[in-house]
């Protein structure tokens, strides 16, 4: 079994950039773009427990901000279980993390994000 505990230093800047873009868009009231950056941060960070859980926390707060009961209810179990699944390496690859996607459904990863993983020295992006 593969235990993931820490995001590689080569990947962290990409994850952090998505969170900064999320904050910038959120503050500017560009909520759709802000959410898009949270989804990208989720895909980048979902293999790492802290980062995975942190994005779900931000998604929960986003759901509260927009008063979306479905998102709020969907983020609570993801917040509790997501980090554990990351730790044991059993995540649905490419899942964007929102309540609009089943929590165990894998999705195709965009070429752009695959390129980020490659630049960070992560040749194979899979759980």
Which pLDDT belongs to residue 23? 98
- Find the radius of gyration of the CA atoms of the chain: 14
Query: Are residues 89 and 47 in contact, defined by beta-carbon separation less than 8 angstroms?
Result: yes
Q: Which two tokens stand for residue 84?
A: 């554990």
* pLDDT exceeds cutoff 90 at 18: yes
How does residue 125 score in pLDDT terms, banded at 50, 70 and 90?
A: low
Query: Rounded mean pLDDT of 49-61?
Result: 96
Which region among 1-15, 26-40, 96-110 has the lowest average model confidence (pLDDT)? 1-15
- Domain boundary assignment for the chain: 12-119
Average pLDDT score over the chain: 92
How does residue 84 score in pLDDT terms, banded at 50, 70 and 90?
A: confident
Rounded (10°) angle between helices 49-65 and 12-27: 10
């Amino acid at each position: 079994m593969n235990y993931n505990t820490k995001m590689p230093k080569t990947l962290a800047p990409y994850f952090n950039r998505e969170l900064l873009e999320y904050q910038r868009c959120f503050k500017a009231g560009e909520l759709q773009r802000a959410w898009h950056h949270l989804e990208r941060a989720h895909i980048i960070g979902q293999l790492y427990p802290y980062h995975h859980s942190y994005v779900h926390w931000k998604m929960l707060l986003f759901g509260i901000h927009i008063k979306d009961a479905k998102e709020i209810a969907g983020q609570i179990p993801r917040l509790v279980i997501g980090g554990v699944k990351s730790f044991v390496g059993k995540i649905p690859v490419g899942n964007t993390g929102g309540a609009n996607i089943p929590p165990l459904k894998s999705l195709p990863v965009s070429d752009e994000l695959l390129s980020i993983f490659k630049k960070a020295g992560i040749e194979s992006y899979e759980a």
